[in-house]
Amino acid sequence: MTDAPLFVVAFLLLIAVLIVIHELGHFLVARLCGVKVLRFSLGFGKILWRRKWGVDQTEWTVCALPLGGYVKMLDEREADEAAPIAAAELPRAFNRQSVGKRIAIVAAGPLANFFLAILVYWLMFLHGSEALLPILGEPPAGTPAALAGIANGDRATRIGDTPVTTFEDFHWQVLRQASSVKSVDVELVNEQNVVRLARLDLSRLAAEGWRKEPFSSLGLRPYQVPAPAVIGEVTPEKPAAGAGIRTGDRIVAIDGQAVEFWYQMTDHIVAAAGRELGVTVLRQGEEIRLKVTPEAKKDGKGETVGFIGVGIAKPETPPVLPEMWTEVRYGVFEAATRSVRQTWETSALSLKLIGKIFTGEVSWRNLSGPVAIAEYAGKSARMGLESYLRVMALVSIGLGLLNLFPIPVLDGGHLMYYCLEVIKGRPVSERVMAWGQQFGLALLLTLMAFALFNDLSRLFG
User: What average pLDDT does the structure give for the chain?
Assistant: 91
Please state the rounded mean pLDDT for residues 316-333: 87
pLDDT of residue 274 exceeding 70, the answer is yes
Please state the rounded mean pLDDT for residues 176-193: 93
Please state the rounded mean pLDDT for residues 32-39: 96
Confidence grade of residue 96 (pLDDT, cut at 50, 70, 90):
very high
Q: How far is CA 251 from CA 257, 289, 296, in A?
A: 11, 10, 21
Task: Please give the residue that has the higher pLDDT: either 80 or 16.
Answer: 16
pLDDT of residue 112 exceeding 80, the answer is yes
Which of 335, 271, 352 is CA-nearest to residue 305?
A: 271
pLDDT of residue 2 exceeding 80, the answer is no
Is 23 catalytic? The answer is yes
Beta-carbon contacts of residue 258 (< 8 Å; ≥ 6 apart): 252
State the pLDDT at residue 85.
86
Beta-carbon contacts of residue 419 (< 8 Å; ≥ 6 apart): 103
State the pLDDT at residue 114.
98
Neighbours of 4 (CB within 10 A): 10
Please state the rounded mean pLDDT for residues 12-38: 97
Q: How far is CA 141 from CA 136, 151, 267, 271, 450, in A?
A: 15, 11, 9, 11, 34
Confidence grade of residue 27 (pLDDT, cut at 50, 70, 90):
very high
pLDDT of residue 362 exceeding 90, the answer is no
State the pLDDT at residue 302.
65
Out of 23, 208, 345, 375, pick the active-site residue: 23
State the pLDDT at residue 414.
95
Q: Which helix (H) or strand (E) holds 250?
A: strand 250-254
pLDDT of residue 1 exceeding 50, the answer is no
CA distance 414 to 408: 6
pLDDT digits over 419-435, tens only?
999 999 999 988 988 89
Q: Identify the burial level of 95 via C-beta atoms within 10 angstroms of its C-beta, where 0-12 means exposed, 13-18 middle and 19 or more buried.
A: middle
3-state helix, strand, coil split of the chain in percent (to 5) is: 50, 25, 30
pLDDT of residue 131 exceeding 60, the answer is yes
Angle formed at CA 98 by CA 96 and CA 103, multiple of 5 degrees? 110
State the pLDDT at residue 406.
93
State the pLDDT at residue 209.
65
Confidence grade of residue 254 (pLDDT, cut at 50, 70, 90):
very high
CA distance 191 to 168: 21
State the pLDDT at residue 217.
87
Flag the least confident range among 203-212, 217-226, 360-369, 389-398: 203-212
Confidence grade of residue 460 (pLDDT, cut at 50, 70, 90):
confident
Strand locations in 12-55, DSSP E? 37-53
CA distance 126 to 336: 8
pLDDT of residue 447 exceeding 60, the answer is yes
Flag the least confident range among 40-49, 144-153, 295-304, 347-356: 295-304
CA distance 373 to 54: 34
How far does Cα 298 stand from its chain's mean position? 20
- Which amino acid does the sequence have at 37? V
Structural domains of the chain sorted by starting position, each given as residue range(s) with its CATH number in brackets: 104-128+330-461 (no CATH), 144-223 (2.30.42.10), 231-312 (2.30.42.10)
pLDDT of residue 264 exceeding 50, the answer is yes
State the pLDDT at residue 334.
95
**Within 13 Å of residue 80, how many CA atoms lie on the same side as its CB?**
2
**In b/e form, how buried is each residue of 177-194, taking b as 16+ CB within 10 angstroms?**
bbbeeeebebbbbeeeee
